[in-house]
Amino acid sequence: FYVVIAACVCVFVTSAALLIRYYADIAASRNASAQLNQLYQSAQESSSATAAPAAAPSAAPTAALVAASSPVPAASMDPSLLLSSASGADSLTVEEIWPTIYPDNPRLSVSSVFDELQEQNRDIVAWLSIEGELDEPVVQRNNEFYLTHNALQQESVTGALFLDENCDLIHVPTQMVIHGHNMKEGAMFGMLKKYKVKGAEFYREHAFIDFNTLYENGRYVIFAVAEVDIRAGQPHYLPFWHYSRFDSVEAFNSYVETARACSLYHCTVDVQPGDRLLTLSTCTGTDDNLRLVVMARKLREGENQLDLNMEVMSTYDR
């Protein structure tokens, strides 16, 4: 009898200790995010306040100077014009459709917004925001370390949001994949489940993602939200982590169509060769072989915002 009581007490104490550790980790992770967020917001405000006039010289050549000295990169063109005819598409190489050089930052000047952030952690390479829902630093090292460490490299069950190790920011990637834990309290990528649970109504209110890296600022629009399988041969198999770049237009189109077919929504936001993709990935919490992915494409230069908003608002649940 006393042995049973002792065993129960031991289990209770161990469970209590683990629970305390769990919530302590969440608190530490939120404190780390808040600390880095304050640095990021301050740096953004300073950057905006001290921004030089358009005519002033800068560290990197202006778009006009780059255009004068070299051909316009294909990525700066509207993909619908880039591939307006079959013959035109056939004559372009993958490198021409998806250039590896940033058109507005060919010298890879690192944004000063990240100076203080990188003093806290050199692995911080980007910042991810979904208005009213998510505002977090993104780190990159390998695909293991930040599963168990927060953005200040402190051990934590929450981990951190991290860019896939195969994504090379120095050479413009066609797709960037960000991984994060699906925390029940909503920390890290815990909020992504709202796209599944609340459906298209939530999507329509949170269809845009801001993702600013060391080398560029970008705004993305979501075109698919899906539960996909990471096991080859399964009906909803989608090895999204394999594609930082694509070998052909056909491979890109096939990938996008597979994502659309798996999507929880019917979304008419178009995706075309020449577009760049951003994918947020987290576990579903029900099956270790499934991932909830939120897939977006970068807004194009000069894109008609009214038309895009209409496509977003016409999205509905399947």
SS (H, E, C) 47-115: HHHCCCCCCCCCCCCCHHHHHHHCCCCHHHCCHHHHCCCHHHHHHCCHHHHCCCCCCCCCCCCCCHHHH
Under a CB-based contact definition with an 8 Å cutoff, are residues 228 and 291 in contact? yes
What type of residue sits at position 260?
Answer: R
The angle subtended at Cα 45 by Cα 153 and Cα 75, nearest 5°, is 80
For residues 83-95, give the mean pLDDT: 64
Q: What is the pLDDT of residues 109-122, one digit of tens each?
A: 999 999 999 999 99
pLDDT for position 29 = 80
Q: What is the pLDDT of residue 272?
A: 96
Higher pLDDT, 279 or 188: 279
Ranges 57-66, 76-85, 111-120, most confident: 111-120
Share of the chain above pLDDT 70, in %: 80
Quickly state the pLDDT bin for 312 (edges 50, 70, 90).
Answer: very high
> According to the model, what pLDDT value does residue 16 have?
59
Q: Is the pLDDT of residue 60 over 90?
A: no
CA distance 76 to 73: 6
Q: What is the mean pLDDT of residues 229-243?
A: 93
Confidence of residue 13 (pLDDT cuts 50, 70, 90): low
**What average pLDDT score do residues 251-266 get?**
96
Mean pLDDT of 45-52: 71
Q: Are 214 and 125 in contact (CB under 8 A)?
A: yes
Q: Which stretch of DSSP H or E encloses residue 175?
A: strand 175-179
pLDDT at res. 89: 53
What is the share, in percent, of the chain residues with pLDDT greater than 90?
Answer: 70
Q: Is the per-residue pLDDT at 275 higher than 60?
A: yes
The letter for the amino acid at 291 is R
Take residue 15 and report the two structure tokens written for it.
């469970």
pLDDT band (50, 70, 90) for residue 6: low
User: Can you read off the two tokens belonging to residue 239?
Assistant: 């090895």
CB of 278 closer than 8 Å to CB of 220: yes
pLDDT at 47: 78
Mean pLDDT lowest among 71-75, 98-102, 136-140, 307-311: 71-75
What pLDDT does 26 receive?
Answer: 77
Which residue reads 């490198």 in tokens? Answer: 95
Whether residue 75 is predicted with pLDDT greater than 90 in this model: the reply is: no
Q: Please give the average per-residue pLDDT across 151-176, as a whole number.
A: 96
pLDDT, average across residues 283-299:
93
Average pLDDT for 299-311: 95
Is residue 133's pLDDT more than 50?
Answer: yes
The Cα angle at residue 256 between residues 207 and 195, in degrees rounded to 5: 30
Label residue 255 by pLDDT band (50, 70, 90): very high
What is the pTM assigned to this prediction? 0.82
